[in-house]
């Protein structure tokens, strides 16, 4: 298991959001008794793009660059993990009671982080097994050269301009 | 400077895309004589979401969860870095000649990675200083409780349903 300090190094700083993401992601890994994904053994669907998602990336190996981090812009502190080997999925959220307790407390950010990191998991994390279809694997696409700038570009991302295949930045110009 | 092996640990495996992202991101950090961003000292605009972007995240500290990784879905191996302290930006791309040379070679993935990691920077990375407006800082939004599921949600992401503020997942149901 990666330490919170290692997650802080990746994120760049310590904050309550990262600490919460740390607890939530570890809850998912423990649930599946799973290691970090080397490839796409796990998929994370994150419902926000705030600090906690860096803990998701760092701990679970579901990263922006590997195609197994799916972003749904819902503004919710909810992460769903799909574990391909077992075909199971868990939806991880914050316990409403913990969120309410924390927001009532007049404490420093440091104390808040400490509380999040030390509270018993059952008091702060809500874990629900859910049914969902297996997410697709990420794909590798053909690339061509943009007929305006000459740079390589994924073919499916090109536009047609005066009969030429051009990349989106050239198309916009 | 972080090692390629450390970047591999974050990404989960070694591959040519990660190696190229490693060289490109280091070129940007060297250009600015910059450390990894602890907060939002740097912003990266990435024109794809493939393997190399994990090197961007890991090396530059421009991460998905910190609001300083901006994704433009153009399918191009291009990263632009904005350095707030100097107000300067660089557009980093692959040298076309190197890309062409690599694609002509009948070599293993391992050999390809090795070539990418050992080639002189000037042979593989194109660095252009560009002018661009400073990207905005990421913002923190007010949260409210969804009036259907009761979970907290960023207010600006809610929808109105029968006069109630509801989160997008509840709205879709």
Among candidate residues B68, B64, B65, the one with its CA nearest the CA of residue B134 = B68
For testing the chain A interface, which of B12, B21, B93 should be mutated: the one with the most A CBs within 10 Å?
A: B12
Side-chain-facing half-sphere of A76: CA atoms under 13 Å: 26
Site of tokens 């709205």? B171
In the structure, what pLDDT confidence band is assigned to residue B141 with cuts at 50, 70 and 90? Answer: confident
Q: What are phi and psi of A20, to 5 degrees?
A: -65, -45
**Mean pLDDT along residues B68-96:** 97
pLDDT given for residue B47 in this prediction: 98
Mutation pick from B74, B104, B142, B167 vs chain A, by most beta carbons of A within 10 Å, is B74
Q: How confident is the model at residue B103 (pLDDT cuts 50, 70, 90)?
A: confident
CA distance B64 to A40: 18
Tell me if A75 and B143 make a contact (CB, 8 A cut-off): yes
- Chain segment A11-26, per-residue pLDDT in tens: 999 999 999 999 999 9
Q: What is the ipTM of this complex?
A: 0.95
> May I ask the CATH architecture of the domain B143-172?
2-Layer Sandwich (3.30)
Q: Are A78 and A127 in contact (CB under 8 A)?
A: no
Q: What is the pLDDT of residue B97?
A: 92
At residue A78, φ and ψ (nearest 5 deg) are: -135, 130
Query: Average per-residue pLDDT in chain A?
Result: 96
Q: In chain A, where does the domain assigned CATH 3.30.1330.130 lie?
A: 4-130
- When pLDDT is averaged across residues B112-124 and rounded to a whole number, the result is 97
B96 touches chain A (CB under 8 A): yes
**pLDDT: which is higher, B130 or A173:** B130
Q: pLDDT at residue A141 above 90?
A: no
Residues of chain A with CATH 3.30.60.20: 143-172
Across the interface, whether the CB atoms of A48 and B154 are under 8 A apart is answered yes
pLDDT band for A150, please (50, 70, 90 cuts).
very high
List the helix and strand counts (H, then E) for chain B.
Answer: 7, 9
pLDDT score for A95: 95
* Torsion angle in degrees (nearest 10) through CA of B67, B131, B72, B62: -30
Per DSSP, the three-state class of A83 is strand
Q: How much of chain A exceeds pLDDT 70, in percent? A: 100
| Residue A139 pLDDT | 83
Percent of chain B with pLDDT over 70: 100
Q: What is residue A103's predicted lDDT score, i.e. its pLDDT?
A: 85
CB B62 within 8 A of CB B37: yes
**Contact A64/B66, CB-based, under 8 Å?**
no
Identify the pLDDT of residue A34.
86
The hierarchical CATH code for the domain A4-130 is 3.30.1330.130
Nearest to A169 by CA among A148, A143, A142: A148
What is the mean pLDDT of the segment spanning B77-87?
97
DSSP assignment of B46-100, as one string? ES--STHHHHHHHHH---TTTT-EEE------EEEEEETTTTEEEEEEE-HHHHH
Q: What is the pTM for the complete model shown? A: 0.96
Judged by average pLDDT, the poorest of A8-12, B34-38, B61-65 is: B34-38
CB contact at 8 A, B77 and A152: yes
Confidence of residue A133 (pLDDT cuts 50, 70, 90): very high
Q: What is the pLDDT of residue B2?
A: 92
- Two structure tokens written together for A26: 């570890």
A79-117 pLDDT per residue, tens: 999 999 999 999 999 999 998 898 889 999 999 999 999
Q: Across the interface, do A65 and B93 touch by the CB < 8 Å criterion?
A: no
């Amino acid at each position: 298991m990666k330490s919170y300090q290692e997650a802080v190094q990746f994120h760049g700083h310590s904050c309550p959001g990262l600490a919460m993401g740390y607890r939530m992601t570890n809850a998912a890994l423990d649930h599946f008794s799973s290691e970090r994904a080397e490839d796409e053994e796990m998929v994370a669907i994150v419902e926000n793009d705030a600090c906690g998602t860096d803990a998701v990336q760092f701990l679970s190996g579901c990263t922006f660059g590997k195609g197994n981090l799916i972003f749904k812009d819902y503004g919710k502190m909810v992460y769903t993990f799909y574990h391909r080997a077992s075909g199971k999925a868990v939806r991880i959220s914050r316990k409403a009671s913990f969120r309410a307790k924390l927001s009532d407390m007049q404490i420093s950010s440091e104390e808040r982080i400490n509380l999040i990191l030390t509270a018993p998991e059952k008091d702060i994390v809500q874990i629900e097994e859910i049914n969902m279809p297996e997410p697709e694997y990420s794909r590798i696409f053909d690339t061509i050269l943009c007929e305006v700038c000459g740079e390589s570009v994924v073919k499916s991302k090109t536009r047609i301009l005066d009969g030429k295949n051009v990349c989106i930045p050239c198309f916009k110009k």
